[in-house]
Structure 1
Amino acid sequence: MSTRWRGRWPAAGTALLLFVLSLAHQALYLYLVPPWQGPDEPRHMEYILLMAEGAAPGTPAAAAIQERIISSMEAHRFWQYGYFIRPYDPQDPPHTLDDIWPGFAHETHQPPLYYWIAGRLVRWSGLQDAAAQLRLVRWFSALLGAGIVVMAWLAGRGLFPRHPGLAAGTAVFTAGLPMFAFIHAAANNDNLAAFFSAGVFVCGAGALRERLTWRRALGMLSCAVLALLTKRTGFIAPAALALIVLGSLWPRRAGRRWIWVTGGALAGLLVIAGGAVWLPAGRALLAALWRFFHLPRDVVELLINGAYAEALVRTPYLYYSRLIFESFWARFGWLNVRLAEGWYVALLGLCTAAGAGLLKGLGSLARGKRPAERYLLRALVVYLLIAAVALVLIMAKEVLYLSYRFGVVPQGRYLFPALIPLSTLFVWGMREWVPAGWYRLAGWAGGLALLLFDTLCLVGYVIPFYH
């Protein structure tokens, strides 16, 4: 065996091990969580089955699909565990999803890529039972999750070639996160959006560490476009792409001239984009994109009549932030399987420690104490900006749709397109508190702590709730 291949075998073995362990973790949730208890699973499966059968909404075939889903929901005691707007009435049982969630019954407004792929899998499988079809789609999501874990490791290797433990820690944190395993054991288009977004960070790691190449730029652009074709939270991917490109092009010592040039270029792009809207072709393209992403049609009217000004004030940002935090870590089912309050306080303490460690590390890098790795300051700042932009985009979406009026809430899985930066920042921040020479032991201890926490979630909350 050549030296080249001998060097590749350990890396391939690590990737395979991470993939298998992650898939096994998600399989636990896949089989322990009853059908239809993933968030919005009935609605996602309706869209998937419409794609699989080539049926259009509002047709008899679409009605038959809803009947099959509801029959399976009844068989698996959905109304005992799940979320609904109208309670189940045995004298007048529901016949359509609108009977269960009036006004919020369908996902057919979503970008179609996830549903198209899952629909093809269902069609090729030949399965007819709704629960069996759901299980197949859950396995598709689980494979995507395992792929994201491998990509987290690849991104870590690209960014930290001198610190293989950091790459492994980022992947293990991603794989062991209870909510990541839960949502990737459910039928949900967030999973494909997170998968393509992970590709942006795999391609972007080399750009931040070395230089931006056309190959890396094309890879990031392709992944960002595919993320946009999957879900609106995919907007995080092009935002990440833009920040990675700026970070990779930023000189080692950015002077005022570079700042003015960069700012001028961005302003010029905005002016060009704004001017294009006034052209007939530009307006047509904007209208098509607006419909594709199902953005509110009356944005201008809502802006003029003060609805958005009111939303900016009345949107409960702290409550939303709490929900996002809890459901990022561990809040299962339809947000109705919640841990004891003390666990979230402990998790907040861990995040605070990681944040303080991150600031400590950034300060050390800024003072030039690690001259061999000057690029890390730029890379970590870019990751920090991506995490902040992801949260801002989620909150902006809630304001745009006036969610506070309807009781609609954001969830932690919306951050999963930015999970690789978030995992990297958390692991880096915690590592800053570990004395040199103790990194390996600390890594094993962290992995064990994550395993114990996930076991607590399963044995102490998920299994007792559903079984």
Structure 2
Amino acid sequence: MLMLLRQFVERRWVLVLATGVLGVRLLVALAVVPPWQQPDEPSHLLFARILAEQDTPDVGYVLRPAASDATDVLVPTFLQGASFRTRRADPGLERELLTSMAEHGWWRYYGRPQPSPLPTSLTEAGLTVVDSGPTLYYVTAAWVLRAFDVTSLLGQLYVLRWISALLGIATLWCGWAGTRKLFGVQLADLTALLLSVLPQFALVSTGVSPGPLINLCGAIFWWQTAVLFTGERSVRTVGLVWLVALAGLLTKRAGIPLGVMAAGVTVLAFVRSWWTGTFKVRGLVAASAAMLVLAVGVVVLLPGEVERILRTLWVTVTSRSMNPESASLEYFERFTWTLLDSAWFYAGWMRYPAPISWTWLVRGLMVVSLLGLGVAAWRHRMRPSLPVVIAFGLVAVQVASIYAVHFRLHVGPQGQYLFPVLAPMLALFWIGLRGWWPVRRWPVLAAGLITTVILFDLVGWSAVLIPLYVG
């Protein structure tokens, strides 16, 4: 066992270093960021806590008429007609939660005067309750709270924050594994180091929300996609790709792009196998049968979730923003910069950005990287390698989904929406930057880039977070 551990450390020392750096930064974030200061933490914890008090962790729910003790009532499909109810809100729990928010300065940090008397519900306080059914994240969170028998409000908050931190570390590992498969160890090591010092990733990975689980699904998807195009067990890997995409779909609406990516990756894999002469009809039949069984199983076992996903797609496609600003170039520019800025650093429910000089520095690096991708493509006679095509395709689907939903509906962007494809995005970021430089300069450029991001992280903590939360 010790020999295996020694070999892992020797051969993967950069990954070990990145894991340690990220772990320390996650611990600092857990210690410094006060309760309820991550986006929508009160709403997410409230729903998980309500589910933890129920008698079943089932995910297949359908709407039923509201009862006197609940603002919204849901019933498992196999218990329709029974007295079981899932409450979407609980007045007693909400009052306890709002009291805790007041004790920890939520209104002050949010830039609002604290009301007196306190509101009696999240809705009255201007917050929303969870508008989805008991999806995979909330059911899992409720199971964790029951399994560890955590009953205190802050205890539940920090247990789920710790779970998010562990998911963040797993995201780092899976992102590294996928990048190594497609691009090699050196580029994988660099992207792992970049991810480990990215300020916003540490903040997002210590909040109570479905986001860290979606990010892990995206990282596993990236890893298995890399295995699909570099390995031999294509049928099994296609099944894993779809299984991860399904987990994302069952976690949050933000997981829907993973389904689109899974379809694209599957088609590309079959086209490539046909083109290279490795196509096997038996493999196609086996993969199709596996996906059919998976789809039928979801429809039969979780009809409520299928209905939720279809309803979300329908509402997304048919809804339109009534704000005339949505069609303006100025709004497009503001939306784009906010999306990119908040992928690097934006604290306190998107209220506290990084210092403007550092923000413009990062913007400049992103523009240079984007142009560098074009330079790199030109050097390859506009025929980029398959790994670059795969990475670019996944990032393009994620970005397109953000603009198709949030931009079109005039909903504020958040950089964490990009994190399901963070590993391929960082890989492309580095490929674009190095596209301007000869190969012999890449080590110096990599060291400079890592140093710049570390300094950016230190500035974010020393100039924004520490003065804000510690004083």
Q: Which amino acid aligns with 1:295?
A: T
Q: Is the 8 A contact 2:245 2:262 kept in 1?
A: yes
1:307-326 counterparts in 2 under 5 A? 313=327, 316-326=331-341
> SS of the residue aligned with 1:429?
helix
Partners of 1:98 and 1:25 lie apart in 2 by 33
Structure 1 residues 176 and 109: alpha-carbon distance in aligned structure 2, compared to 1, 3 A threshold: same
> SS of the residue aligned with 1:295?
helix
Partners of 2:129 and 2:111 lie apart in 1 by 15
1:100-139 counterparts in 2 under 5 A? 100-101=125-126, 104-109=127-132, 112-139=135-162
Structure 1 residues 444 and 67: alpha-carbon distance in aligned structure 2, compared to 1, 3 A threshold: same
Q: Which amino acid aligns with 1:415?
A: L
1:392-431 counterparts in 2 under 5 A? 392-398=400-406, 402=409, 404=410, 408-431=411-434
State the match for 2:107 in structure 1.
Answer: 79
Q: Which amino acid aligns with 2:173?
A: V
Q: Is the 8 A contact 2:335 2:407 kept in 1?
A: no
Q: Which amino acid aligns with 1:107?
A: V
1:176-325 counterparts in 2 under 5 A? 176-209=197-230, 213-251=234-272, 289-292=306-309, 295=312, 313=327, 316-325=331-340
State the match for 1:274 in structure 2.
Answer: none
Q: Is the 8 A contact 2:343 2:418 kept in 1?
A: yes
Partners of 1:356 and 1:314 lie apart in 2 by 25
Task: Tell me the TM-score normalized by structure 1.
Answer: 0.80
Q: Does 1:25 align with 2:53?
A: no
State the match for 1:36 in structure 2.
Answer: 36
Partners of 1:426 and 1:245 lie apart in 2 by 25
Alignment RMSD (CA, Å)? 3.6
Q: Which amino acid aligns with 1:424?
A: A
Selected match of 1:88 from 114, 117, 129:
114
Q: Which amino acid aligns with 1:345?
A: W
State the match for 1:433 in structure 2.
Answer: 436
Selected match of 1:381 from 379, 382, 389:
389
Partners of 2:232 and 2:322 lie apart in 1 by 41
Using the TM superposition, give the Cα deviation of residue 296 of structure 1 relative to its aligned residue in structure 2, in angstroms: 7.7
1:152-167 counterparts in 2 under 5 A? 152-161=175-184, 164-167=185-188
Using the TM superposition, give the Cα deviation of residue 129 of structure 1 relative to its aligned residue in structure 2, in angstroms: 2.8
> SS of the residue aligned with 1:98?
coil
Q: Is the 8 A contact 2:178 2:224 kept in 1?
A: yes
Worse overlay, 376-385 or 178-187: 376-385
Partners of 1:25 and 1:151 lie apart in 2 by 19
Q: Is the 8 A contact 1:224 1:237 kept in 2?
A: yes
Partners of 1:147 and 1:19 lie apart in 2 by 9
Using the TM superposition, give the Cα deviation of residue 71 of structure 1 relative to its aligned residue in structure 2, in angstroms: 1.3
State the match for 2:123 in structure 1.
Answer: 98
Partners of 1:28 and 1:415 lie apart in 2 by 23
State the match for 1:69 in structure 2.
Answer: 97
Q: Which amino acid aligns with 1:178?
A: P
Q: Is the 8 A contact 1:46 1:65 kept in 2?
A: yes
Q: Is the 8 A contact 2:36 2:101 kept in 1?
A: yes
Q: Is the 8 A contact 2:228 2:237 kept in 1?
A: yes
Using the TM superposition, give the Cα deviation of residue 130 of structure 1 relative to its aligned residue in structure 2, in angstroms: 1.6
Using the TM superposition, give the Cα deviation of residue 440 of structure 1 relative to its aligned residue in structure 2, in angstroms: 3.4
Q: Is the 8 A contact 1:331 1:338 kept in 2?
A: yes
State the match for 1:442 in structure 2.
Answer: 445
Q: Is the 8 A contact 2:141 2:160 kept in 1?
A: yes
Using the TM superposition, give the Cα deviation of residue 24 of structure 1 relative to its aligned residue in structure 2, in angstroms: 1.7
How many equivalent pairs are there?
A: 422
> SS of the residue aligned with 2:39?
coil
Q: Which amino acid aligns with 1:119?
A: A
Structure 1 residues 40 and 367: alpha-carbon distance in aligned structure 2, compared to 1, 3 A threshold: closer
State the match for 2:353 in structure 1.
Answer: 338
Using the TM superposition, give the Cα deviation of residue 441 of structure 1 relative to its aligned residue in structure 2, in angstroms: 3.8
Using the TM superposition, give the Cα deviation of residue 45 of structure 1 relative to its aligned residue in structure 2, in angstroms: 0.8
Superposed CA deviations along residues 200-245 of structure 1, whole A, max 9, x for unmatched, are 1101113234567112111111111111111111122222223333
Partners of 2:360 and 2:316 lie apart in 1 by 38
State the match for 2:465 in structure 1.
Answer: 462
Extract unaligned runs of 5+ from structure 1. Answer: 256-268, 270-281, 369-375
Partners of 1:298 and 1:165 lie apart in 2 by 44
Superposed CA deviations along residues 248-280 of structure 1, whole A, max 9, x for unmatched, are 34449979xxxxxxxxxxxxx9xxxxxxxxxxx
Identity among equivalent pairs (%): 25
Structure 1 residues 413 and 298: alpha-carbon distance in aligned structure 2, compared to 1, 3 A threshold: closer
Q: Is the 8 A contact 1:44 1:188 kept in 2?
A: yes
Q: Which amino acid aligns with 2:245?
A: A
State the match for 1:170 in structure 2.
Answer: 191
Worse overlay, 189-198 or 12-21: 12-21
Partners of 1:358 and 1:227 lie apart in 2 by 29
Partners of 1:298 and 1:152 lie apart in 2 by 32
Structure 1 residues 30 and 228: alpha-carbon distance in aligned structure 2, compared to 1, 3 A threshold: same
State the match for 1:142 in structure 2.
Answer: 165
Partners of 2:149 and 2:405 lie apart in 1 by 38
Partners of 1:313 and 1:82 lie apart in 2 by 29
Structure 1 residues 207 and 78: alpha-carbon distance in aligned structure 2, compared to 1, 3 A threshold: same
Using the TM superposition, give the Cα deviation of residue 411 of structure 1 relative to its aligned residue in structure 2, in angstroms: 0.9
Extract unaligned runs of 5+ from structure 2. Answer: 56-68, 72-86, 277-287, 289-298
> SS of the residue aligned with 1:188?
coil
Structure 1 residues 309 and 379: alpha-carbon distance in aligned structure 2, compared to 1, 3 A threshold: farther
Q: Is the 8 A contact 1:20 1:146 kept in 2?
A: no
Using the TM superposition, give the Cα deviation of residue 454 of structure 1 relative to its aligned residue in structure 2, in angstroms: 0.4
Structure 1 residues 242 and 83: alpha-carbon distance in aligned structure 2, compared to 1, 3 A threshold: farther
